[in-house]
Amino acid sequence: MDDISTGSLLILLVFLIICSAFFSSSETGMMSLNRYRLRHLVNTKHSAASRVDKLLQRPDRLIGLILIGNNLVNILASAIATIIGLRLFGDVGVAIATLALTFVILIFAEVTPKTMAALYPERIAFPASLLLRPLMKLLFPVIWATNGVTNGLLRLLGVNPNSKDDEALNPEELRTVVDEAGTLIPKRHQDMLLSILDLEKVTVDDIMIPRNEIAAIDINDDWDSILRQLTQSTHTRILLFRDSIDDSVGFVHSRDSLRLLSREQFDKTSMLRAAKEIYFIPEGTPLNVQLLKFQRRKERIGLIVDEYGDIQGLVTLEDILEEIVGDFTTSIAPAPSEEIHPQIDGSYLIDGTVNIRDLNKEMSWKLPTDGPKTLNGLIVEHLEDIPEANLCLRLAGYPIEIVEIENNTVSLARVMPAFYAKPKEKTN
C-alpha cells in the first residue's frame, strides 16, 4: 500500500463505495420485486425477468452472494480509508476516517441506493442480474461454504432452511390485492372480482325467493284459472304443486306450454307430463358450491329445503350470476328501490319483507346479515316478540319505527339513517 499514491487510493475508495451501493441496491431491489408480476413477465419470455427468477429460486445463495460482496468491499474500503486518514492527519486520522467513511457509506452506499431500489425494484434488479449471474458462478465455492455453515447453524436452532412460506394468497389477501389495484383494474371489474370472492360467504338462503313469494300454480285449480295464471305469468319456468307448495310436482317451461297449446293438446295431463323434475337444494349451501352444482347437473333452478324437507324458497342460476355481475335480468320480485320509499324528513319507509342484503347494498347500510334475511325477521329477533305498531327501537345503531303490522309481521317500518350514530368504542 505504501507504493500506491494517495490519489489512487481515493479513486479506489470511491470505486469500492460504488460497489457497496450496487450490492445494497441489488439486495433491496431483488427482495422488493412483485413476485406475481415477475412470474407474468417470465411467462411472456422476458429475458431479464427470467434471469432474475433463476436467481430468486435459491434466495439463500443470492443473499449469500450479495452479503459476501457487500462486506468484502466495505471492509476493504474501511482499510483504505484508514490508510488515507493516517497519511493526511496522522494518528487522529483513524478517527476522522472512521466517522467520514461511516457517513459516506450510510448516505451513498446504503440509504440512498436502497430507497431507490425499494421505489423502483425492476429498474434496479433487472440490470443488476447481469452482474450477479456471473458473480454467482465465480464465487460459487465461497457461497456454497458460507451457506453450508449458516444452514447448519439454523438447523441447530430448530429452523429448516429448506422450508418456504406458502406464497399462495388466501381470499382476504387476494381481496386486498384487488382493492389495491387502483386504476389497473376498472372499478366495475374490481366489484365483480370481489363478488366472486364473497360467494363462499353467501348462502342460497341469502338470495332465495321466499316460499310465500314463489309464483306457482295449484294443479287442483280449475283449468280456466290455470290457463289464466299461465298466460299472465312473466316467468319462463313455473312451479306446479298440489294444494300445498310442499307437495310440489315439477317445473313447467312456458315454451313447452306454448308448444302443446299450438297443437291443441294442452290439458292437465299433458302439462304434468311436460313438467320437469324438481332439483332440491339443501339450505345453507354456499353460492360458490351451488354454482358448480348447477353447472355439473345442467340445472338452472332449484327449490331450497330445510332439514325436515320443507320448502323454504327458490333460487336460480341467474340469481347467483347477478351476485357477481349485478342485476342484468328482469326480476319478478320487487327491486329494493320499489320497497324503499324516501321521505321528506330524510327517513325511509321500508317494506318489512325487504331482503337485508339487498337493503344494505341499495342504501350502503350495515344492518346485520348473519341472522334473519328480512327486515321483519330482524326486528322480531331483536325484540324477541311480535311488536305492535308505533313501537320505536334502535337496531344496530339505526332508529326504527314500526309503522304497520299485518298478519303478525312488520309490513312497514320507518328507518331514520340521519340519526344513525356508531356506538362508541370501548377504551381500556
What is the C-alpha separation between 276 and 274, in angstroms, rounded?
A: 6
Q: How far apart are the first and last CA of the chain?
A: 66
Angle at 364 between CA 355 and CA 188, to 5 degrees: 100
What is the Cα–Cα distance from 149 to 392, expressed in whole angstroms? 73
Answer for the pair 400, 378: CB distance below 8 angstroms, yes or no: no
Q: Are 76 and 2 in contact (CB under 8 A)?
A: no
SS3 state of residue 75? helix
Along the 428 residues of the chain, how does pLDDT read in single tens digits?
Answer: 566 787 888 899 899 999 999 999 999 999 888 887 888 888 888 888 888 888 888 888 888 889 898 999 999 999 898 888 888 888 888 888 889 888 999 999 899 999 999 999 999 999 998 999 898 888 888 888 888 888 788 888 877 766 665 566 677 777 777 777 766 677 777 777 877 888 888 888 888 888 888 888 888 888 888 888 888 877 888 888 888 888 888 888 888 777 777 777 777 788 888 888 899 999 889 998 999 999 999 989 999 998 888 898 899 998 888 888 876 655 444 445 678 888 888 888 988 888 888 888 788 888 888 778 888 888 888 888 888 888 888 888 888 888 888 888 888 888 887 665 454 444 44
pLDDT recorded at residue 166? 54
pTM score = 0.60
